[in-house]
């Protein structure tokens, strides 16, 4: 048990914000058993701190029931005390799962995939973020890497102590931009780690005098921050990877093709969950190295789904490394919902035997990709696509779907009438 003076029990909401309640550290054992109180309408809090219209109103009660395996200690630093952080399921007062809980949504999607196919997901979320106000430095440079010490080294060490398995920490292309990656793990743990990572980065950065932002864009013409979701599928019994087949286009197996086809078929509706803010769609455009259209490609960073490179160096085995990267997500979205909708879409493609999608070769030129379907150009357009897609809508409880739509409409109303620059700033101010 942690020696921290407080424990914070948290969920992650429809705008990707981690919210919860604290209790004294000496009450941690009871909190793990009984949770802390929560309110259904909390699901409707927008990124801008208002409560959107919702089906819950002022009635109802919930518990945030901590998942003990998610607990991490954020240590004392200077005069800032440490805290034990737990992620929680939202449950009814008797412990019954609440159908509107995002973490429950992800778990059920993973369980259904395993039950229907015998497969499990291995995943990781790559995060980009910025530390505005640094001295100017070159993209990817050693100078930038060193410019944020000791923050960078402390971040990697802290993530390692927490068991989050950091893999790489690097200066990125954009001004003041960095990327942190974690080792792949089972699907639910990967989404849990994505939630925790964002809070650890923000917390540690603030204690070093920085303000970390995961906003999709700080300026319409600037570099964007994405969250790239890497997914692979393995036999749940044997652990054997099932996405690789060297005889097929892109070396993607037939099953992997159907899984990909499900994501591609429903992509325009999925975007309302994976690109959650009004500024997200300014990033999703050609020549931004994010995602420029609904297509599957070999090693093309503008594809919605990218077949990632593998390497034989050091005895690397292709099948073990082979994975798909979903590139149209960012940190304004809930990681549990992002993972859940991708798994649901892939499972639907498998169960309905969707036709194999075209795999665009790595050398495909931009002009050749003019025929691929476009992504939604705005959050409003993505919500309209969700309204039209009965398959995607059918994955959610009526209350969760209604609240998601309401929260996103309220966030759009908050920036109504602003130009692109002001929209980016308004979103960046809260992320």
List, for residues 281-293, the tens digit of each pLDDT value: 999 987 777 787 8
* Segment 45-94, tens digit of pLDDT: 999 999 999 999 999 999 999 999 999 999 988 888 999 999 999 999 99
Residue 266's pLDDT is 98
* Segment 239-262, tens digit of pLDDT: 999 999 999 999 999 999 999 999
Nearest CA to 303 out of 213, 372, 383 is that of 372
Residue 404's pLDDT is 98
Which structural domains are found in the chain, ordered by start? 104-395 (3.30.590.10)
Residue 102 has pLDDT above 70, yes or no: yes
Q: Are strands 83-91 and 119-130 parallel, antiparallel or unpaired?
A: unpaired
For the stretch 46-51, contacts whose Cβ atoms lie closer than 8 Å and that sit 24 or more positions apart, written own/partner, are 46/15, 46/407, 46/410, 46/411, 46/414, 47/15, 47/16, 47/17, 47/277, 47/332, 47/411, 47/427, 47/430, 47/431, 48/410, 48/411, 48/414, 48/426, 48/430, 49/430, 50/410, 50/414
Residue 2 has pLDDT above 60, yes or no: no
Residue 160's pLDDT is 98
Residue 3 has pLDDT above 70, yes or no: no
pLDDT over 70 percentage in the chain? 99
Residue 366's pLDDT is 76
Residue 424's pLDDT is 95
Q: What is the mean pLDDT of the chain?
A: 94
Residue 217 has pLDDT above 90, yes or no: yes
Nearest CA to 233 out of 315, 335, 331, 349 is that of 349
pLDDT mean over 37-44 = 97
């Amino acid at each position: 048990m942690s020696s921290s003076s407080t424990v914070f029990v948290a969920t992650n909401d429809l705008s990707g914000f981690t919210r919860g309640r604290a209790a004294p550290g000496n009450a941690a054992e009871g909190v793990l058993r009984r949770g802390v109180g929560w309110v259904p309408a909390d699901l409707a809090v927008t990124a801008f701190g208002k409560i959107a219209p919702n089906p819950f109103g002022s009635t109802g009660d919930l518990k945030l029931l901590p998942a003990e395996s998610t607990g991490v200690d954020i240590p004392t630093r200077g005069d800032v005390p440490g805290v034990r952080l737990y992620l929680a399921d939202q449950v009814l007062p008797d412990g019954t799962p609440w159908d509107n809980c995002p973490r429950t949504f992800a778990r059920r999607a993973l369980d259904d995939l395993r039950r229907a196919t015998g497969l499990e997901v291995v995943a990781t979320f790559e995060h980009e973020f910025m530390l505005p106000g640094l001295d100017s430095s070159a993209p990817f440079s050693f100078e930038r890497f060193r410019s944020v010490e000791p923050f960078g080294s402390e971040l990697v060490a802290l993530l390692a102590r927490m068991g989050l398995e950091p893999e790489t920490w690097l200066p990125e292309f954009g001004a003041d931009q960095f990327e942190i990656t974690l080792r792949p793990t089972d699907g639910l743990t990967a989404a849990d780690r994505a939630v925790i990572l964002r809070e650890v980065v923000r917390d540690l950065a603030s204690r070093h005098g920085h303000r970390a932002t995961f906003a999709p864009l700080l300026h319409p013409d600037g570099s964007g921050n994405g969250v790239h979701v890497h997914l692979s599928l393995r036999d749940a019994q044997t652990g054997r990877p099932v996405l690789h087949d060297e005889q097929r286009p892109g070396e993607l197996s037939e099953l992997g093709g159907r899984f990909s086809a499900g994501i591609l078929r429903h992509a325009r509706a999925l975007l309302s969950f994976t690109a959650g803010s009004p500024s997200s769609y300014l990033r999703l455009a050609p020549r931004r190295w994010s995602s420029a259209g609904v297509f599957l490609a070999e090693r093309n960073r503008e594809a919605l789904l990218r077949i990632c490179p593998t390497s034989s160096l050091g005895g690397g085995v292709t099948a073990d490394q082979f994975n798909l990267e979903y590139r149209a997500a960012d940190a304004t979205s809930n990681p549990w919902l992002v993972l859940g909708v991708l798994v649901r879409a892939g499972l639907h493609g498998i169960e309905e035997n969707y036709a194999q999608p075209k795999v665009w070769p790595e050398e495909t030129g931009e002009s050749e990709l003019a025929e691929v379907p476009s992504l939604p150009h705005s959050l409003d357009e993505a919500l309209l696509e969700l309204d039209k897609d009965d398959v995607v809508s059918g994955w959610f409880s009526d209350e969760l779907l209604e609240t998601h739509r309401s929260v996103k409409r309220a966030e759009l109303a908050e920036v109504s009438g602003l130009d692109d620059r002001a929209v980016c700033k308004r979103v960046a101010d809260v992320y």
